Amino acid sequence: MCQVGLFCSAYGTANLRAMDNEIILGAWLPRAFDILEYSMSKRTVFFVSDGTGITAETFGNAILAQFEMKSRHVRLPFTDTIDKAHQAVRQINHTAETEGLKPIVFTTLVNMEVLKVLQEHCQGMLLDMFGTFVQPLEKELGIKSHHRVGRFSDVSKSK
């Protein structure tokens, strides 16, 4: 009896040899679960900020800690001009192309023009932390935020 499902009907049981983690068709093929597990656990994560990137990385790591996965972290600090934003996009998109997976991109960009470059051209999964949290708070509080770089360090130093 064939234990490898669809491969048996496509290739015939005589051409297959099932082993613990592989199917032999003249070459090694990983199990579907192994492919899924690899793609879910081996992501590149970018932290893009117009400041040091520490806030983006700290917040991003807190969220990523909820998932059992290994990732390669790349911090892109001081992305504070449109030119630097395009450079970041090129690096993120290159990673997407070479790895075959959408990188996860956490941003804490305050400059809307710089953020717009990423929103329009980035091939990663873009998670704009300020847009996600600051805009709803502005609406709820009825006031505009400062939209300034480095405000987190000001708040964390206050007593």
Give the pLDDT of the chain (159 residues) as one tens digit per residue: 444 443 343 334 443 444 333 333 444 444 444 444 544 558 999 999 999 999 999 999 999 999 999 999 999 999 999 999 999 999 999 999 999 999 999 999 999 999 999 999 999 999 999 889 988 999 999 998 876 666 554 444 545
Domain count, the chain: 1
50 within domain boundaries: yes
87 within domain boundaries: yes
106 within domain boundaries: yes
33 within domain boundaries: no
Q: In the 8-state DSSP scheme, what is residue 27?
A: S
C-alpha distances out from residue 32 to 5, 27, 127, 138, Å: 12, 15, 28, 45
26 within domain boundaries: no
Helix or strand (DSSP H, E) at 82? helix 82-99
Q: For the whole prediction, is pTM greater than 0.75?
A: no
Q: Which CATH number is 87's domain given? A: 3.40.50
111 within domain boundaries: yes
60 within domain boundaries: yes
Range of the domain at 132: 42-146
